[in-house]
């Protein structure tokens, strides 16, 4: 089968190539899926670079999320059948014509969702929902997050709003502000404004920030911590700057702040099937009623994998880049 493979870690445009790999056979608790569309996520690219928590055995096939049609099931599979259209995330090797996944990581998709939505419905939006529950956020509370124009950031803002939770969405450019506005997202802050922290305080009034999500690291971590309310929680979600978190211990001590690490893929894998299905059902509902919008930047044939993972394409995208095997 055709697949996007690599045999050592490195820059995606330098180590990926199109190869012919054996079609995988599902184990007893797995299904095999014929891929329709697969997403390209930042963590997929970090995995190829060898900079992610998961290190695949070599040679490896890229990708971790896709939508497709089940074409084979293992002997112990109970709730899925051949011919169903399904989505899977936190799996492996989806940048190929076929992939296999454990039954518990695969979810049937309703006809009301198109392939472009289904191909990216679970990984990033599910991470956003899990973050909301990880931080124990309730209706009426405030959460602040940086890199808010990323896939998780946008989903977090939309899904939190649907639950009545207020978000302050921090970005670094005017273009990013417009990107969020186009999705109907409110309370957006541009850190290139000298008074951006004062803008945050003006939005809050007498209320406090209960939680913060840091996807950047470095000094940006401390910026969020400084704005966090007493007894609040700061979750470390990513490290886009490549720099360690810089945190003022005065804020940690006198705010009695809690600092937590959040790894969505690990939490997803350890979550009960029933609990995960509950969250996926919410995602489907939000997508169907328009509360969750997942734009697509471009769709590439698998043969054009190097164009799809190119740094310029990935850095300038306003939506998800998809692959069609």
The domain spans of the chain are 2-121+294-324, 124-265
Beta bridge partners of 169: 145, 188
CA distance 267 to 235: 14
Beta bridge partners of 37: 67
- Going by pLDDT thresholds of 50, 70 and 90, the confidence category of residue 315 is confident
Global pTM value: 0.91
Whether 12 has a pLDDT exceeding 80, the answer reads: yes
Whether 55 has a pLDDT exceeding 90, the answer reads: yes
- CATH code, 2-121+294-324: 3.90.180.10
Q: Are 157 and 129 in contact (CB under 8 A)?
A: no
Q: Which tokens belong to 239?
A: 């490290």
pLDDT of residue 314: 82
pLDDT of residue 268: 83
User: Which has the closest alpha carbon to 231: 206, 213, 251?
Assistant: 251
The helix or strand, by DSSP H or E, that contains position 67, with its residue range, turns out to be strand 66-73
Q: Are 4 and 16 in contact (CB under 8 A)?
A: yes
Give CA angle at 246 (242, 249), nearest 5°: 160
Q: Comparing 2-121+294-324 with 124-265, is the CATH topology the same?
A: no
Q: Which CATH class is domain 124-265?
A: alpha beta
Angle formed by the axes of helices 196-204 and 219-227, nearest 10°: 30
Go through the chain and tell me how many residues it has. Answer: 325
pLDDT of residue 187: 98
Q: Which tokens belong to 17?
A: 């190539």
Looking at residue 105, what DSSP letter applies?
Answer: G
User: Which has the closest alpha carbon to 167: 192, 133, 132, 215?
Assistant: 132
């Amino acid at each position: 089968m055709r697949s996007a493979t690599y045999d050592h870690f490195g820059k995606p445009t330098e180590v990926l190539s199109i190869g012919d790999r054996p079609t995988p056979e599902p184990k007893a608790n797995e299904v095999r899926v014929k891929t329709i569309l697969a997403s390209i996520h930042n963590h997929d690219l970090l995995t190829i670079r060898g900079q992610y928590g998961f290190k695949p055995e070599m040679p490896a096939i890229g990708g971790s999320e896709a939508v497709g049609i089940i074409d084979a099931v293992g002997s112990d599979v109970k709730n899925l059948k051949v011919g169903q259209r399904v989505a899977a995330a936190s799996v492996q090797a989806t940048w190929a014509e076929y992939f296999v996944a454990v039954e518990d990581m695969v979810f049937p998709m309703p006809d009301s969702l198109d392939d472009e939505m289904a191909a990216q419905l679970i990984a990033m939006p599910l991470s956003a929902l899990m973050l909301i529950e990880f931080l124990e956020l309730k209706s009426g509370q405030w959460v602040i997050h940086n890199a808010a124009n990323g896939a998780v950031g946008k989903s977090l803002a939309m899904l939190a709003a649907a639950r009545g939770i207020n978000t302050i969405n921090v970005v670094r450019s005017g273009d990013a502000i417009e990107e969020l506005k186009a999705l109907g997202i409110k309370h957006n802050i541009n850190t290139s404004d000298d008074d951006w922290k004062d803008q945050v305080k003006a939005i809050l009034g007498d209320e406090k920030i209960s939680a913060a999500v840091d996807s950047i690291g470095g000094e940006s971590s401390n910026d969020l911590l400084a704005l966090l309310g007493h007894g609040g929680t700061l979750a470390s979600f990513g490290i886009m700057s490549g720099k360690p978190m810089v945190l003022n211990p005065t804020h940690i001590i006198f705010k009695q702040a809690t600092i937590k690490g959040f790894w969505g893929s690990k939490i997803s894998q350890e979550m009960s099937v029933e609990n995960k299905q509950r969250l996926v059902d919410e995602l489907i509902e939000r997508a169907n009623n328009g509360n969750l919008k997942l734009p697509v930047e471009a769709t590439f044939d698998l043969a054009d994998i190097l164009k799809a993972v190119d740094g310029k394409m990935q850095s300038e995208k306003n939506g998800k880049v998809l692959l069609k095997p």
